[in-house]
């Protein structure tokens, strides 16, 4: 009975990670389409949610990588899986709070590796798999995306030099809808698989399925729904950073960036690489700025993202390790339940802090201010009193403070190295 309860907690936590992955990574597909107004914000996230749902059924190669290619399934226990998931979720929520487009994939892998290291030491990690399936793609994917998007943008810019801007904008907006849809579909084929792999690990650890089992259909459909629901919520904070903070994007750049992202992500899914779709999307956006003559790339914002990328694996790993140590210190099922309860409390606290300076579909496209980040303050729509739900945009120059990766503190929470940069949902 106790084992069944623990397995249920792990499955729920894995679906919660899938949910956070959905809203954290919505911007990967839709940020540029929202920024260029090719799609209305709510329409964009709804379309992305549907295509993520469909994409989750198209491939299981990445699920196999997560389940059997990163850590030794023979040493995995349910408390270890839960601790690893908590590491991934906490890092996802923190980076969302500060509007940093970091990798949900690497947060999950980092959390799992940290928990396994705390449980059994280095022997429980399949280092060859970590290097070949995670670290190498992490280094190569953004570089490839920058190159592909840069070349594509340069080519499009040359081909459309004599075309009036209003004509090219109209045509490329339709192209953006198609390319953004392809990225959403590709995202579903890659990211939804990761929670499937973790749940399969838990089922093997709990003795519910044999060690050589494939992913059950109920796991596939539940992960697909969780990912789609998170996507529809809209990660407005991260969408804002990707769409407005890195490059001032036009429709030509947007289409080139999205097409590049889709190509790289689909290729990685085919080979089973646990690729960060965030790294690919960010690289594509940067490439669209590099390839467009006269475009301005905000390398300061990009630099802060790169720092976050570097610390994602160790930071999520540290949280995963600490959670496993806490489970061990308390002991038994009580320790696992305590860690789950701690996750609920931390998640609620982060959400409450985010409501102080909310970003949603009404202000996600406000002009970006380099000095003060996004510069959006919550004010009442009609009464003049501050309110957390309705946000009227205030010119960035008139605001007293800014929010996002740019902020150095939110309430009582500080993040080392975060500086002026972005606002989140």
* pLDDT for residue 338: 94
Kindly indicate the confidence band of residue 394, based on its pLDDT and cuts at 50, 70 and 90: very low
Q: Which long-range contacts (CB under 8 A, 24 or more apart) does 218-222 make?
A: 220/56, 220/57, 220/60, 220/196, 222/15
Place of tokens 């490059």: 247
| pLDDT of 254 above 60 | yes
Position with higher pLDDT, 98 vs 60: 98
> How many other C-beta atoms lie within 10 A of the C-beta of residue 314?
12
* pLDDT for residue 410: 37
Kindly indicate the confidence band of residue 62, based on its pLDDT and cuts at 50, 70 and 90: low
* pLDDT for residue 70: 81
Span 63-90, mean pLDDT? 82
74-88, 101-115, 167-181, 404-418: range with lowest mean pLDDT = 404-418
* pLDDT for residue 275: 67
Span 116-143, mean pLDDT? 86
114-128, 188-202, 360-374: range with lowest mean pLDDT = 360-374
| pLDDT of 104 above 90 | no
CA distance 271 to 185: 16
| pLDDT of 181 above 50 | yes
Helix (H) / strand (E) element for 410: namely strand 409-410
Q: At what angle do helices 165-205 and 41-55 cross, to 10 degrees?
A: 40
Compute φ and ψ for 364, nearest 5 degrees.
-65, -25
Contact 26, 238 (CB under 8 A): yes
* pLDDT for residue 134: 81
- Range with top average pLDDT, 16-25, 157-166, 344-353: 344-353
Question: How many whole angstroms from its chain centre is CA 236?
Answer: 12
Q: Report, in angstroms and rounded to the nearest whole number, the Rg of the chain calculated over CA atoms.
A: 21
Position with higher pLDDT, 215 vs 165: 215
217's CB contacts (< 8 A; 6+ apart) are: none
CA distance 309 to 119: 25
Q: Which long-range contacts (CB under 8 A, 24 or more apart) does 219-222 make?
A: 220/56, 220/57, 220/60, 220/196, 222/15
Kindly indicate the confidence band of residue 13, based on its pLDDT and cuts at 50, 70 and 90: very high
| pLDDT of 392 above 50 | no
Question: How many whole angstroms from its chain centre is CA 160?
Answer: 33
Contact 100, 301 (CB under 8 A): no
| pLDDT of 263 above 70 | yes
Position with higher pLDDT, 291 vs 320: 320
CA distance 199 to 219: 7
Q: How far is CA 221 from CA 53, 200, 217, 351, in A?
A: 9, 13, 6, 27
Task: Note the pLDDT tens digit of each residue in 405-417.
Answer: 333 333 333 333 3
Span 269-275, mean pLDDT? 66
Span 320-332, mean pLDDT? 93
**Listed residue (283, 33, 290) closest to 145, CA to CA:** 283
Domain layout of the chain by residue ranges: 2-354
CA distance 237 to 230: 14
| pLDDT of 139 above 90 | no
Average pLDDT taken over every residue of the chain: 80
Q: Which long-range contacts (CB under 8 A, 24 or more apart) does 377-385 make?
A: none
- Range with top average pLDDT, 146-160, 260-274, 396-410: 146-160
| pLDDT of 138 above 60 | yes
* pLDDT for residue 44: 92
| pLDDT of 318 above 90 | yes
Tokens describing residue 211 = 């060690």
Task: Note the pLDDT tens digit of each residue in 276-314.
Answer: 788 888 889 999 888 888 778 888 888 888 888 889 999
| pLDDT of 385 above 80 | no
Compute φ and ψ for 361, nearest 5 degrees.
-65, -15
* pLDDT for residue 381: 38
| pLDDT of 101 above 70 | yes
* pLDDT for residue 402: 38
* pLDDT for residue 369: 65
Q: What is the b/e burial string over 137-148, where b = at least 16 CB atoms within 10 angstroms of the residue's CB?
A: bbeebbebbbbb
Span 178-205, mean pLDDT? 82
Question: How many whole angstroms from its chain centre is CA 100?
Answer: 9
Tokens describing residue 343 = 């996750």
| pLDDT of 425 above 70 | no
* pLDDT for residue 63: 60
Task: Note the pLDDT tens digit of each residue in 17-39.
Answer: 999 988 888 888 888 889 888 88
Span 338-356, mean pLDDT? 94
In percent, how much of the chain has pLDDT > 70?
82
CA distance 18 to 13: 9
| pLDDT of 329 above 60 | yes
């Amino acid at each position: 009975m106790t084992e069944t309860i623990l397995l249920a907690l792990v499955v729920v936590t894995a679906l919660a990670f899938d949910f956070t992955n959905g809203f954290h990574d919505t911007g990967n597909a839709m940020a540029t389409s929202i920024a260029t107004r090719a799609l209305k914000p709510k329409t964009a996230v709804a379309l992305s949610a549907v295509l993520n749902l469909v994409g989750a059924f198209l491939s299981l190669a990445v699920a196999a990588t997560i389940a059997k290619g990163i850590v030794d399934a023979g040493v995995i226990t349910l408390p270890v899986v839960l601790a690893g998931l908590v590491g991934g979720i906490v890092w996802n929520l923190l980076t969302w709070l500060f509007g940093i487009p970091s990798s949900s994939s690497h947060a999950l892998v980092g959390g799992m590796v940290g928990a396994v290291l705390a449980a059994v030491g280095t022997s429980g990690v399949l280092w060859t798999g970590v290097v070949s399936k995670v670290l190498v793609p992490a280094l190569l994917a953004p570089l490839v995306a920058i190159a592909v998007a840069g070349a594509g943008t340069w080519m499009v810019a040359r081909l459309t030099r004599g075309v009036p801007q209003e004509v090219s904008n109209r045509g490329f907006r339709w192209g953006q809808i198609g390319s953004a849809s392809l990225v959403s579909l590709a995202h579903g084929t890659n990211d939804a698989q990761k929670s499937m792999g973790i749940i399969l690990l838990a089922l093997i650890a709990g003795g519910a399925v044999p060690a050589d089992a494939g992913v059950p259909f109920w796991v596939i459909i539940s992960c697909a729904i969780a990912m789609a629901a998170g996507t529809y919520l809209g990660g407005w904070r991260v969408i804002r950073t990707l769409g407005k903070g890195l490059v001032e994007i036009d429709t030509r750049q947007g289409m080139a960036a999205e097409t590049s992202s889709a190509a790289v992500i689909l290729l990685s899914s085919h080979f089973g690489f646990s690729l960060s779709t965030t790294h690919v999307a960010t690289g594509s956006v940067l490439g669209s700025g590099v390839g467009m003559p006269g475009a301005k790339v905000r390398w300061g914002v990009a630099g802060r993202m790169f720092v976050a990328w570097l610390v994602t694996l160790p930071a999520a790993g540290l949280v995963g390790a600490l959670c496993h140590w806490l489970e061990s210190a308390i002991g038994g099922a009580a320790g696992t339940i305590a860690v789950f309860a701690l996750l609920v409390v931390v998640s609620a606290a982060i959400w409450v802090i985010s409501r102080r300076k909310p970003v949603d579909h009404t202000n996600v496209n406000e002009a970006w201010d380099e000095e003060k980040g996004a510069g959006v303050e919550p004010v009442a729509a009609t009464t003049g009193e501050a309110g957390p739900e309705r946000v009227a945009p205030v010119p960035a120059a008139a605001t007293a403070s800014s929010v996002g990766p740019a902020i150095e503190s939110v309430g009582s929470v500080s993040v080392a190295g975060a500086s002026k940069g972005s606002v989140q949902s």
